[in-house]
């Protein structure tokens, strides 16, 4: 089950047994997952059985181990956070979140389970009494942006010994953002290890995300200062058999929104809004979202045009919350969105996600966006990636082999060999694709 109580999507993932590191075996005693199960079902008033991997994670965190785990979108990572917090009724669990919308969504989920939770960001940081309430441990869960976590206001709390000694854990949710955003867009992500200087060796750090390459793991490991405390890690996997994946080349002169429109069923003025597949179209910029909205509206019957809206970081938090609620209820059917809609904000019945990938370089980002689809059990959904033509074709090494064969007079038509390879400009763009993303784009079969 997911943290929201919605049935989790069907999936295949790795069993948690056999994943413990030597350091974990030598660390503190870990409560059994069966014991943890009974406790959190009572503490969170759950009417379902948590999955074993969730219980294993909670057990190791409660044993004060540093943890890194990866579990696919919709698998129920939030329940791990809530399960840890529920055990420490007079302690504070801190969760570093990348987006305000995600913070608000998680606060609602936690509050519904009886936990005391609050979101701290630039919109709420000046609320009268907020910092004092946090210092007095009025909240079990504090969802906070990395910028706020490193702010003078929050650092002042660390000076209070009682507060410092009652921190149960620090989670870094969507931890792939450390790699994605830490170098330039949000440099505070690369500075989160500063928190270790306040917590010392007594507070476990937990990093979780839906997907993690080897390089991403190494960045998270070094940035958050892992390796000095007992450690436990788990890769649950992110296989989603209920999703159909399609990767298509995007012709240079063709508007990608037309490709999206071609995926919609034929509609007329007699069509109900429910006939429109509930969809998210991901685009690189706010301007392209607005343009896409107008183009899609023009292709729909007049009575269905209001069911298409744009979504980006420029909207107010009230607007964004309202959009997610309307998408959930079906009052919105198509969302033209930037990366602001790429994480959190659970809408379980998305039929179609389309990613326009001119500026896409990361496999993690693609998996996050595709992972918005089909989160309702037994639901089938489609995930589409539209990439420019330069992203397709044989790998550069294959061209080197072809060139060598030509030099030695082995096989191939001369003109074909001459024109087979991509241009230098195309290779330069392709070189920026993260390892793994290129494999997805050029997968065989």
- Residue 156 and residue 437: Cα distance in Å, rounded? 42
- Residue 351 and residue 328: Cα distance in Å, rounded? 12
pLDDT-derived band at 368, boundaries 50, 70, 90 = confident
Amino acid 415: pLDDT? 46
Q: 188, 204, 237: which is the final residue of a domain?
A: 237
Q: Are residues 229 and 352 located together in one domain of the fold?
A: no
Q: Are residues 265 and 207 located together in one domain of the fold?
A: no
Using one digit for the tens of pLDDT, what is the confidence trace for 254-299? Answer: 899 999 999 999 999 999 999 999 999 999 999 999 999 999 999 9
Show the domain range for 72: 22-237
Q: Is 10 exposed, middle or buried (0-12, 13-18, 19+ CB in 10 A)?
A: middle
- Residue 166 and residue 137: Cα distance in Å, rounded? 8
Total domains in the chain come to 2
Residue 2 placed within a domain? no
Could you tell me where the DSSP H helices lie in 278-362?
A: 286-299, 317-329
Indicate whether this model's pTM tops 0.85.
Answer: no
- Residue 312 and residue 237: Cα distance in Å, rounded? 29
CA distances to 77, 111, 293, 374 from 8, in Å: 11, 20, 31, 10
Structure tokens at 86: 């529920």
Q: Are residues 88 and 228 located together in one domain of the fold?
A: yes
**Is the pLDDT score of 443 beyond 90?**
no
Amino acid 367: pLDDT? 87
Amino acid 254: pLDDT? 82
- Residue 225 and residue 229: Cα distance in Å, rounded? 9
Amino acid 398: pLDDT? 55
Residue 404 placed within a domain? no
- Residue 416 and residue 428: Cα distance in Å, rounded? 22
Q: Are residues 179 and 257 located together in one domain of the fold?
A: no
**CATH number of the domain enclosing 199:** 3.40.50.300
Structure tokens at 298: 């023009």
Residue 402 placed within a domain? no
Residue 71's beta-bridge partner residues?
Answer: 237
Residue 210 placed within a domain? yes
For 288, other C-beta atoms within 10 Å of its C-beta total 21
């Amino acid at each position: 089950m997911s943290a929201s109580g919605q049935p989790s999507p069907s999936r295949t993932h790795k069993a948690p047994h056999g994943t413990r590191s030597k350091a974990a075996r030598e660390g503190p005693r870990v409560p059994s997952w069966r014991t943890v199960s009974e406790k959190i079902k009572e503490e969170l008033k759950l009417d379902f059985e948590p999955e074993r991997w969730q219980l294993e994670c909670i057990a190791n965190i409660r044993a004060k181990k540093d943890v890194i785990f990866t579990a696919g979108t919709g698998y129920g990572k939030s329940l791990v956070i809530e399960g840890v917090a529920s055990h420490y009724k007079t302690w504070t669990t801190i969760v570093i979140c990348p987006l305000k919308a995600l913070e608000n969504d998680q606060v609602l989920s936690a509050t519904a389970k009886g936990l005391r939770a609050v979101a701290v960001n630039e919109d709420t940081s000046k609320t009268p009494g907020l910092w004092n309430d946090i210092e007095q441990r009025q909240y079990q869960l504090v969802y906070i942006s990395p910028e706020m976590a490193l702010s003078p206001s929050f650092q002042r709390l660390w000076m209070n010994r009682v507060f410092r000694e009652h921190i149960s854990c620090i989670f870094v949710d969507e931890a792939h953002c450390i790699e994605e955003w830490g170098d330039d867009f949000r440099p505070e992500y690369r500075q989160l290890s500063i928190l270790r200087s306040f917590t010392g060796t007594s507070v476990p750090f937990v990093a979780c995300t839906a997907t993690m390459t080897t390089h991403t793991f190494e960045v998270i490991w070094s940035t958050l200062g892992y390796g000095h405390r007992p450690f436990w890690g788990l890769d649950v996997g992110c296989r989603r058999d209920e999703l159909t994946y399609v990767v298509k080349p995007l012709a240079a002169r063709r508007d990608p929104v037309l490709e999206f429109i071609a995926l919609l069923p034929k509609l007329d003025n007699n069509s109900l809004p429910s006939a429109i597949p509930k969809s998210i179209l991901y685009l690189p910029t706010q301007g392209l979202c607005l343009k896409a909205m107008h183009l899609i509206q023009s292709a729909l019957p007049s009575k269905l045009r209001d069911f298409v809206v744009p979504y980006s970081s420029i909207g107010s938090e009230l607007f964004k919350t309202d959009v997610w609620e309307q998408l959930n209820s079906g009052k919105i059917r198509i969302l033209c969105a930037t990366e602001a809609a790429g994480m959190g904000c659970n809408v379980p019945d998305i039929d179609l996600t389309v990613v326009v990938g001119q500026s896409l370089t990361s496999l993690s980002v693609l998996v996050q966006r595709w992972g918005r689809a089909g989160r309702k059990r037994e639901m089938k959904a489609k995930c589409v990636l539209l990439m420019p033509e330069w992203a397709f074709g044989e790998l550069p090494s294959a061209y080197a082999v072809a060139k060598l064969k030509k030099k030695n007079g082995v096989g191939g038509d001369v003109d074909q060999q001459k024109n087979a390879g991509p241009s230098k400009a195309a290779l330069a763009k392709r070189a920026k694709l993260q390892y793994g993303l290129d494999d997805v784009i050029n997968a065989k079969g």
